[in-house]
Amino acid sequence: MRSISRRLELRLVTAMKQFPAVVLTGPRRAGKTYLVRHAFPHAHYALLEDPAVVARIRADPAGFLDDLRAPAILDEIQNVPELFAYVRARIDRAPRHTGQWILTGSQETALMHGVTESMAGRAAILQLWPLSFAETPRATLRHGGFPEVIARPRAASLWFSSYVQTYLERDVRAITAVHDLSAFRRFLALVASRHGQVLNKTDLAAPLGMSVPGIARWLDILETTQQILIVPPYFENVGKRLIKSPKIYVADSGLACHLLGIESDAELQRSPFLGALFEGWIAAEIVKSQANAGRRRELYFFRDQQGLEVDFVVPGRASELTLIEAKATRTPTPAMATSLTRLATAMKRHHRGEIHSLVVHRRGTTDSPTRALSPGVSAITAEQLFASLDATGK
């Protein structure tokens, strides 16, 4: 497969010119190592997973760093978090000397704890997600965005099976004491079956015979390792009683399909989860566009206790809001605009910025450009939405 340019690379290069260090986080196998080595091919590279390297660092951390030349890439640094203090000391000796250190890690809990304690104000923090549709049209709803799946889609099922096993054995056990991995595997499948639903921890706990606090700890593991997206409700005052629980999605649509047993386009088309999977795909692409633009995540949903619901509320620049209904249909109808119209009308009483309303649907064979479904509501394909996100960084 030809090399795919990552949208985050420009942000990474720019950050290295402005900060002494850059910390790059993201889920395992998202492409962090490839990105930093591609962006800085002449940097000194050290992989901190080799037991011999880790032992050497723990025996003589200062000596290990002395042998490196700047810029230096410390890959998977969460394996030796004690190294943060030594990197910090070197930064503090020459705080205006930018572009010295590139630190990557997959386990965001341990990694970010080290950053908080040792690197605050000294490092730019960037997140790399799996490939987006804007980066390659091969990042589809069924295959998701992991680079190795996109490179070898016929081996997707085997790759995802191996990924889940590796994730369970390495990341999960490294973060917390999960004694029953088979129960955790069932938990993953259960989370996938709740894809796109309002999070109900009791509903997840009951089939597994677990306590709600135990489920909460496992959900924290999935979120901090960026395996799920937790989308909070939008709380701006619109004069309504609102649902307060967040919605949950498996972050990568390909992994979600795998966990649900969907292994072909035909199975996806017939699946009762198609609508939820399409919705989650839209959510992930919005989050990726924000991360690739170096922006903080801003993605919400709206639901009140009277049944008014809109899939996504996305804040933009200049107090703009974009309201999105994600529909897996290829034939959007005016009826799909009803919730958007009602919410936009309620919001205009309190919100000063512009409000845009979109029904996002799957691409057909004869799609026309953006078209109006009703006054103030436009219908666009997912691909058209992704192109606009890529252009604006929304």
Please name which of 391, 123, 146, 172 lies closest in space to residue 256, comparing C-alpha atoms.
146
The token pair that represents 213 in the structure block: 């606090």
**Domains annotated on the chain, with CATH:** 8-127 (3.40.50.300), 147-283 (1.10.10.10), 300-392 (3.40.1350)
Q: What's the burial of 187, exposed, middle or buried (CB within 10 Å: 0-12/13-18/19+)? A: buried
Describe the crossing of helices 274-292 and 8-18 by its angle, rounded to 10 degrees.
30
The token pair that represents 331 in the structure block: 């034939």
Task: Work out the mean pLDDT of the chain and round it to a whole number.
Answer: 90
H and E: helices and strands count for the chain: 17, 14
**Residue spans of alpha helices (H) in 141-209:** 147-151, 156-166, 173-175, 181-193, 201-208
pLDDT per residue rounded down to tens, the chain (394 residues): 568 999 999 999 999 999 999 999 999 899 999 999 999 999 999 999 888 999 999 999 999 999 999 999 999 888 888 898 899 999 999 889 999 999 998 766 666 776 767 777 889 999 999 999 999 999 999 999 999 999 999 999 999 999 998 887 777 776 666 677 788 889 999 999 999 999 999 999 999 999 999 899 899 889 988 999 999 999 876 656 677 899 999 999 999 999 999 999 999 999 999 999 999 999 999 999 999 998 889 999 999 888 889 999 999 888 899 999 999 999 999 999 999 999 999 888 877 889 999 999 999 866 566 688 999 999 999 999 999 887 765 5
The distance of Cα 302 from the centroid of its chain, to the nearest Å, equals 20
pTM for this predicted structure: 0.92
pLDDT in tens, 17-54: 999 999 999 998 999 999 999 999 999 999 998 889 99
Q: CA 104 → CA 108, 109, 131, 159, distances in Å?
A: 10, 13, 17, 23
* Adjacent-strand bridge partners of 374: 377
